[in-house]
Amino acid sequence: MDSPLDTVTWPLRTDRLTIRRLAIDDLPAIWAYRRQPAANEWMTREFPTEGAFRAHFEKPQSLATTLVLERDATVIGDLMLKVEDGWAQEEVAVQAVAVHAELGWCLDEAHTGRGYAVEAVTELIRCCFDDLGLRRVSANCFADNTPSWKLMEKVGMRREIHSVRDGLHRTRGWLDGYGYALLADEWRERA
- Per cent of the chain over pLDDT 90 is 96
Per the prediction, the chain carries an average pLDDT of 96
**Does position 33 have pLDDT exceeding 90, yes or no?**
yes
Distance CA 23, CA 125 (A): 22
Query: Which pLDDT belongs to residue 191?
Result: 80
Is residue 3 pLDDT above 60, yes or no? Answer: yes
Q: How far apart are CA 12 and CA 97, in angstroms?
A: 24
Q: What average pLDDT score do residues 127-140 get?
A: 98
Query: What is the per-residue pLDDT for 38?
Result: 87
pLDDT tens per residue across span 153-187: 999 999 999 999 999 999 999 999 999 999 999 99
At 63-77, the pLDDT tens digits run 999 999 999 999 999
pLDDT digits (tens, 9 = 90+) for 77-111: 999 999 999 999 999 999 999 999 999 999 999 99
128-135: average pLDDT: 98
The answer to whether residue 118 scores a pLDDT higher than 90 is yes
Q: In the prediction, which pLDDT does 63 show?
A: 92
The structural domains of the chain, ordered by start, are 4-138 (3.40.630.30)
159 φ/ψ angles, rounded to the nearest 5 degrees: -75, 120
Distant-in-sequence contacts of 10-17, Cβ < 8 A, 24+ apart:
12/123, 12/124, 12/127, 14/119, 14/120, 14/122, 14/123, 15/119, 16/71, 16/116, 16/119, 17/69, 17/70, 17/71, 17/116, 17/119, 17/120, 17/123
pLDDT tier at 13 (50, 70, 90 boundaries)?
very high
Average pLDDT over residues 24-39: 94
Please name the amino acid found at residue 77. Answer: G
Between the CA of residue 2 and those of 5, 7, 10, 64, 174, what are the distances in Å? Answer: 8, 10, 15, 8, 36
Q: In what order do the strands lie in the sheet with 74-84?
A: 12-13, 18-21, 66-71, 74-84, 100-107, 136-142, 173-183, 158-169
Rg (alpha carbons) of the chain, rounded to whole number = 16
